[in-house]
Structure 1
């Protein structure tokens, strides 16, 4: 009978260690692959880099647009800019301009 209780206590100890190892393994796997894990952090870093470059491009585009709008302000209209915008919007051309018509396919 002594050996039976000793076997039971050894198996109980092994079961507790196995359960503890499974709990630690579960949290370890989630720390690596979970929603807030190491892989997610790397993906977020890549997304930050992509969005930062897109932000820089959009800022440059906005600065260019603001520069073009400043040229059209009434305080100092650039004649070339005004001529370009009028021709574009009214679809007109100067008689001295060379117009090349491309046929539609």
Structure 2
């Protein structure tokens, strides 16, 4: 009788602490590795930084093209840019141009 009471007084609190530790560990593990945990947050922040970098590059390219298009529009057209684009579109060269043909050039 005394052994059973002593075993119960030690085993019940021990089982309670083990169970609550396991439940707490479960929630802590999911707080870090779950779908909305710390690891997922870090991955999302990396993806956001990558997309923002791409956005800056595309914005710079858009600014470049806007500038070039503005030179071809309006009352005054940049003749050099117009000549360059016309030669590129028609696949022609000017009489004063120097043409260098490179071997094994891949596109």
Most deviating of 68-77 and 54-63:
68-77
Aligned residue-pair number: 105
- Structure 1 match to 2:12: 12
Describe how 1:58-69 pairs up with structure 2 within 5 A. 58-69=58-69
Alpha-carbon deviation of 1:74? 4.6
Alpha-carbon deviation of 1:81? 0.9
- Structure 1 match to 2:85: 85
Aligned-residue RMSD, C-alpha: 1.9
Alpha-carbon deviation of 1:49? 2.2
Alpha-carbon deviation of 1:75? 2.9
Describe how 1:23-102 pairs up with structure 2 within 5 A. 23-102=23-102
Question: Secondary structure, in 3 states, of the residue corresponding to 1:61?
Answer: helix
Question: Secondary structure, in 3 states, of the residue corresponding to 1:92?
Answer: coil
**What TM-score do the two structures reach when normalised by structure 2?**
0.83
Alpha-carbon deviation of 1:9? 4.4
Alpha-carbon deviation of 1:66? 0.9
Unaligned runs of 5+ in 1: none
Unaligned runs of 5+ in 2: none
Per-residue deviation, residues 33-69 of structure 1 (Å, max 9, x unmatched)? 2222222222222222222222111111111111111
